[in-house]
Structure formats: structure tokens, C-alpha cells
Amino acid sequence: MAIKTTQSTNRLRFIPLAFGSLLASWIVCAADLPSAVGQEKIEQLPEAGSVEEQREDLEIGGVNRTKYMGRRIADTMGYLGAPWLIRETRELEENPTVVLEQLGLKPGMSVCDLGCGNGFYTLLMAQKVGPTGKVYAVDIQPEMLQLLSRRAVEAKIDQIDMIHSTVKDAKLPEGKVDLLLLVDVYHEFSHPEEMLASIRKSLSPEGVIALVEFRGEDPRVPIKPLHKMTKKQILKEYQANGFRLVREFDGLPIQHLMFFGIDETWKPADKDTNR
């Protein structure tokens, strides 16, 4: 196996997420998860930090990182929720087959699954880009990367570089990524500006971000409001950070799918957006 892992010392978790059926219940935060969830699969993994520790880390240099451009940053959930990411009902609830079709992946592409978790989309993307392609799997939790590594070995997929990122830096190579996928994770970035700047540097000249977020405009989507985003808010934040909307797809059951490219005319605004 040629799987490479890039290490970092920061273990603050930013992965999405929900736990339980989307069609039946609302998302819960990490503190609400029973400690035994998925324990039979990950009992050898190190214990992740508590939600309280994460919130303390959000106060960096006296800057409140709990809000961004009028939006409250969602709480996070740790690796014990990983089994939910590969639940059998995900195809019915989210239609990831259509997501993959819309990504337009081709053999030889360099792609990234940022906030990869245990690799639900990572492995599917690897199959699409083939052995001549490259997949960067990025996550803030080393435990998630360990879970993904096991699944990659089982699937006999070896063109994945696993990267243990920080909350500010995706640690991707500059100018190499043709498509970067963010599935239900952006709304939990504790440092959106820094991460978007890092992502911007990683994109190839024609590279795009494919952003998937639960629809905040629709009260019928059974997800807590903090874990959903409206198109209006998404556009506000991405345009303010040097991206332009190049395409969107409205055919998913409960999520937005929006594609952003680099806006070459953009200049950073001199203002405080953290309030």
C-alpha cells in the first residue's frame, strides 16, 4: 500500500455531524452520543478531546471564533459517530450517486475529500480517478484517518495521500487540486477565512470546490439549523473569500451542491467578519 499520512499536532475536530436517520430524527452533538457508539470498531484508537476542550481552543488570541459573518459556527462531533457516515440508508437520504455524477471526475484527476471522515466519498472518488489519479484525504482527526486507512486496505485502493490537517491549514500541495469536495463540513470550520485561503492556494488554475451542505432554507430538512446553510449565506462567505459561483445543482433530496472557482478579481476586504 502506498498510503501516506501527513501528521500534525493539532487534534481539534471539525468533522460534521449528524447521527441517526435523517428521515426520522434531528442531528445531535458530540456530547449527546453514547460512548459505546461504534466502539467495537475503534476500541484501539486514542481517545479524542472533549467538546469543552474544542470550545476552549476556539478562543485563540482573544478572537471569538464561534461566529462568522453573522452565522454561528456549529458544534462538532468526534470519530465515534463514524459509523453513521457509511450507513445503509445514505443513498436513499442523500443520493451520493448523483453527487458523484455531478462532480464529473475523470481518470488522472487530482482530487481532495476535505473532512473525509472514514472515507465514504474518498474511496468512491478514488475509483473514479483511477490508478493514474491522485486523491488527498484530509481530516483534523487522526482517528478518522486510521479508519479510512483500514477501509482503503480492504478495498485495495492505494492512490490516496492521507493528510492530518490543522483548523487553519489543509496542508495540501499548492496549485495541484482539480476538485476539492466539502460534504457537510464547511459549516463547522472554526477558522473559515484561514481554511478557505488554504484551499484557494491548493486549487489548480481551473480547479473548483464542490460544496455540499444541508439546505437551510427548507424547514423540512430534519437537521438542526446550525448544521444547515442557506445559499445566500454560502454565497456571502465564499464571495468574500475570493471565490465565484461557477455552477450549481439543485437535484439532491435535502442538500445544496454548489461549485466555486477562484475569483481572480478578488481583493481581501479590510474588515472584521468574525462578529
Cα(6)–Cα(15) distance, integer angstroms: 18
Question: Where along the chain do its domains lie?
Answer: 4-262
Whether the per-residue pLDDT at 158 is higher than 60: the answer is yes
User: What was the pLDDT predicted at 171?
Assistant: 98
Amino acid at 208: V
User: What was the pLDDT predicted at 5?
Assistant: 52
pLDDT tier at 173 (50, 70, 90 boundaries)?
very high
| 159 close to 137: Cβ distance less than 8 angstroms | no
Whether the per-residue pLDDT at 128 is higher than 70: the answer is yes
pLDDT in tens, 205-258: 999 999 999 999 999 999 999 999 999 999 999 999 999 999 999 999 999 999
Residue 237: closest CA among 111, 72, 17:
72
Residue 133: closest CA among 178, 180, 198:
178
Residue 157: closest CA among 189, 106, 197, 122:
122
- Return all residues near 265 (Cβ < 8 A) that are at least 6 apart: none
User: What was the pLDDT predicted at 86?
Assistant: 87
Range 246-271 average pLDDT: 93
- 209 three-state secondary structure: strand
DSSP code at position 58: T
Whole-model pTM: value is 0.78
**Considering the domain 4-262, what is its CATH architecture?**
3-Layer(aba) Sandwich (3.40)
- How far CA 241 is from CA of 179, 263, 275, in Å, comes to 18, 9, 16
pLDDT tier at 4 (50, 70, 90 boundaries)?
low
- 147 three-state secondary structure: helix
